[in-house]
């Protein structure tokens, strides 16, 4: 079991990709926090996984709610989260809002050749999405959850392709 002794947060885990990720992580030995707005769905996934999972109700479009949920369970608990924030510095104004809101101190404003810009500290990022949700320039995205990636996956499903073939 490759994830034995690890702890993970999986968002959108009541169905679809999130459910598949939660189930895979649990099969590989991880303890999994199943986050979803669908309480019954999150509970069903956690119950199906067994003692390795805990359901948590959370609206992932509400950055503050995600931060509260992840902050509560992250302290001494999370070691795997398949998502982190990414800053498009060409769009970033360096306003510092993301830095001031990040509960994990995982994003900071630095001086660059083009002025102040935000950057992610990948090792500290828990993927909560507060920075992405709060950025007025939409300069921060969450890796693997950009609009383009999600639309490509939906298109592939419509065409009957396996998600394993999507790059």
Give a yes or no: residue 16 inside a domain.
Answer: yes
Residue 56 sits in the same domain as residue 31: yes
Question: Could you tell me the pTM of the whole model?
Answer: 0.47
User: Which pLDDT does position 167 carry in this prediction?
Assistant: 34
Residue 64 sits in the same domain as residue 125: no
**For residues 58 and 63, what is the distance between their CA atoms, to the nearest angstrom?**
10
Higher pLDDT, 152 or 159: 152
CATH number, position 129: 3.30.70.20
Residue 78 sits in the same domain as residue 123: no
Residue 15 sits in the same domain as residue 78: yes
With beta carbons less than 8 A apart as the criterion, state whether 86 and 110 touch.
no
Cβ atoms within 10 Å, residue 55:
24
Residue 69 sits in the same domain as residue 100: no
Residue 106 sits in the same domain as residue 66: no
Q: How far is CA 158 from CA 26, 49, 154, in A?
A: 28, 28, 6
**For residues 133 and 64, what is the distance between their CA atoms, to the nearest angstrom?**
9
Helices (H), the chain: 16-27, 39-49, 63-74, 97-101, 130-134, 147-158
What digits encode the pLDDT tens for the residues 43-60? 999 999 888 888 888 877
| Domain final residue pick, 82, 98, 117 | 82
Residue 111 sits in the same domain as residue 91: yes
Residue 31 sits in the same domain as residue 43: yes
What digits encode the pLDDT tens for the residues 118-141? 999 877 887 788 898 899 999 998
Q: Which domain holds residue 123?
A: 85-142
Give a yes or no: residue 62 inside a domain.
Answer: yes
Give a yes or no: residue 156 inside a domain.
Answer: no
**For residues 6 and 82, what is the distance between their CA atoms, to the nearest angstrom?**
13
What digits encode the pLDDT tens for the residues 57-88? 887 777 767 676 666 566 555 555 567 888 99
Task: Count how many domains the chain has.
Answer: 2
Residue 18 sits in the same domain as residue 76: yes
- Bridge partners of residue 129, in order along the sequence: none
Residue 118 sits in the same domain as residue 78: no
């Amino acid at each position: 079991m490759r994830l034995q002794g690890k702890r993970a947060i999986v968002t959108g885990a009541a169905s679809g990709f999130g459910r598949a990720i939660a189930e895979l992580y649990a099969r590989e030995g991880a303890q999994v926090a199943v986050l979803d707005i669908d309480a019954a769905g999150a509970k069903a996934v956690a119950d199906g996984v067994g003692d390795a999972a805990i359901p948590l109700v959370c609206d992932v479009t509400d950055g503050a709610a995600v931060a509260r949920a992840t902050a509560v369970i992250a302290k001494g608990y999370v070691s795997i989260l398949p998502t982190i924030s990414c800053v498009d510095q060409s769009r970033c104004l360096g306003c510092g809002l993301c830095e001031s809101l990040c509960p994990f101190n995982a994003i900071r404003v630095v001086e660059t050749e083009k002025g102040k810009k935000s950057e992610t500290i990948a090792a500290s990022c828990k993927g909560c999405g507060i920075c992405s949700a709060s950025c007025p320039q939409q300069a921060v995205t969450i890796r693997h959850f950009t609009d383009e990636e999600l639309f490509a996956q939906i298109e592939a499903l419509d065409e009957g392709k396996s998600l394993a073939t999507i790059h």
